[in-house]
Chains A and B, each alone.
Chain A
Amino acid sequence: MEQLSITSNDDVVIVRQKVRAHAIDLGLSLVDQTKVVTAASELARNTLVHAGGGQACIEVVQNGMRRGLRLVFSDNGPGISDLDLALTDGWSSGGGLGLGLSGSRRLVDEFTLDSDPGRGTVVTVTKWTR
């Protein structure tokens, strides 16, 4: 398990590199590697843009025969008041394309979003080996 703090754009790059290294270790296919790295990039940047920074936790998990990479992104930012709206394609509060959160959900196998306005946000994603 690896804990990383996200406070600047450089940290987003570091998170991406660490996730890629873990994905390669785990033996994910090139396509899955790229998908999970891209999801990590989106989610890490979200904590930076919307909450001014946060934490990333990278962990290898096991489910029977399958192994997977679990990433947890947490922050103490303003939180998300309307989860459905936040997960709508093309909706953005930060001037982006509005595909980061919804797209990340499609890039990984499991996706949970836990947020309360004023309390912060925790996004947990998992990508399993095939």
Chain B
Amino acid sequence: MTVQESSSRRRIEDLMRENEDRLVDRWVEISNAPLRGRVVDSDVRRELRDLLRALLRSSESPDGGADLRGLLADLSRTRARQGFTPGETALAVFTLKEAVYELVEADGGEEVLHGYISLSRTIDELGLYTFEAYTAAREKIIADQTEQLLELSTPVVKLWDGIVAVPLVGTLDSARTQVVMEKLLQTLVDTGSEYAVIDITGVPAVDTQVAQHLLKTVMAARLMGAHCIISGIRPQIAHTIVTLGIEFGDIVTKATLADALAFALRQSGVEVVNRRRTRVSVRAEEA
């Protein structure tokens, strides 16, 4: 920055300081206009006032910029979480130009105009910075969600005393298999279950890799003394498995989870009887 530039920059910053309230009012007004009531005015006011003060402070001290960047990163993070687009987030910063320009116009001085150009460059940099911070925040959210999904998508549920089930949904890759296997084996130990049902209704395609992962999981459960049943084999999956030439050997497979449960119950000696057989005849009469 040349001497002349920094003096005109100081001039415009003084002007902004003098008119702080008016400037913040106008800034909030302009930046909130495209958001149409998705934000609370008083919150935005506080945010923008802090930003403005940090911006004015940043040129006074050498490390003032860190403070400002911190505030901007916070703003980007909260906006990313609230579902704003990166454009809307950056706009909150860029609209400061418009608000300041009104002050410049009212002042009319040439030096202030020079200062405005310098300030405008700084605002551009800050706007781009919010963009970067926004992207980083989004990526963090996505990474967190992926991890959560991995945890959420592999529940081991107890169907009956001694029977647990793992409903698999989505793609079964090595990472998922690892999680499923660990959880299943641990649940088998914790509940002392003898039967484990692996339901693949939610797995869109069973290729050799998925089959291999399934076989490994079944083998591991067997080593722990549990009986494994694979259920949810739909017609198209059965076709594909046969054509591929995958052999499930002596592993019990069933079309539906209900069949698998019935099988496991029968094997463990539980008998399910219909208490109200009359219901069937009532229906027949109505028909």
Contact = CB atoms under 8 A, between A and B. Distances in A.
B245 interface: yes
Given A31-B235, A106-B245, A107-B243, A97 B171 contact: no
Nearest to A41: B207
A41 B245 contact: no
A15 to B, nearest CB: 11
A34 B239 contact: yes
A99 B236 contact: no
B113 to A, nearest CB: 51
B246 A20 contact: no
B245 A34 contact: no
A104 to B, nearest CB: 8
Nearest to A103: B244
A99 B206 contact: no
Interface string B217-257: 00000000000000000011101100111100000000000
Contacts of A38: 205-207, 240, 244
Majority SS at the chain B contact face = helix
- Find the residue from A9, A41, A45 having the highest chain B CB count within 10 A: A41
Query: Interface range on chain B: under 10, 10 to 19, 20 to 34, or 35 or more?
Result: 10 to 19
Contact of A103 (B173, B237, B243): B243
Majority SS at the chain A contact face = helix
Nearest to B173: A9
A107 B212 contact: no
A106 B246 CA distance: 12
A34 B209 contact: no
B212 to A, nearest CB: 5
Contact of A35 (B173, B208, B209, B239): B239
Interface in B182-231: 204-209, 211-212
Contacts of B211: 97
Interface in B76-101: none
Interface in A53-106: 89, 96-97, 99-100, 102-104, 106
Contacts of B245: 89, 99, 102-103, 106
Contacts of A9: 173
A30 interface: yes
Interface in A15-59: 16, 20, 30-31, 33-35, 37-38, 41-42, 45
B116 to A, nearest CB: 47
A31 B239 contact: yes
A40 B284 CA distance: 50
Interface string A102-122: 111011000000000000000
Given A30-B236, A31-B235, A97-B211, A37 B246 contact: no
B212 A20 contact: no
Contacts of B205: 16, 34, 37-38, 41
Nearest to A95: B212
Contacts of A103: 208, 243-246
A77 B207 CA distance: 22
Contacts of B246: 97, 99, 103
Which 7 interchain pairs have the tightest Cβ spacing?
Answer: A103-B244, A34-B236, A41-B207, A31-B236, A97-B208, A106-B243, A31-B239
Given A33-B236, A99-B244, 7 more contacts: A13-B171, A16-B205, A35-B243, A100-B207, A100-B208, A102-B245, A103-B244
Interface of B: 171, 173, 204-209, 211-212, 235-237, 239-240, 243-246
Interface of A: 9, 13, 16, 20, 30-31, 33-35, 37-38, 41-42, 45, 89, 96-97, 99-100, 102-104, 106-107
8 contacts: A20-B204, A35-B240, A42-B207, A42-B244, A96-B212, A103-B208, A104-B244, A107-B244
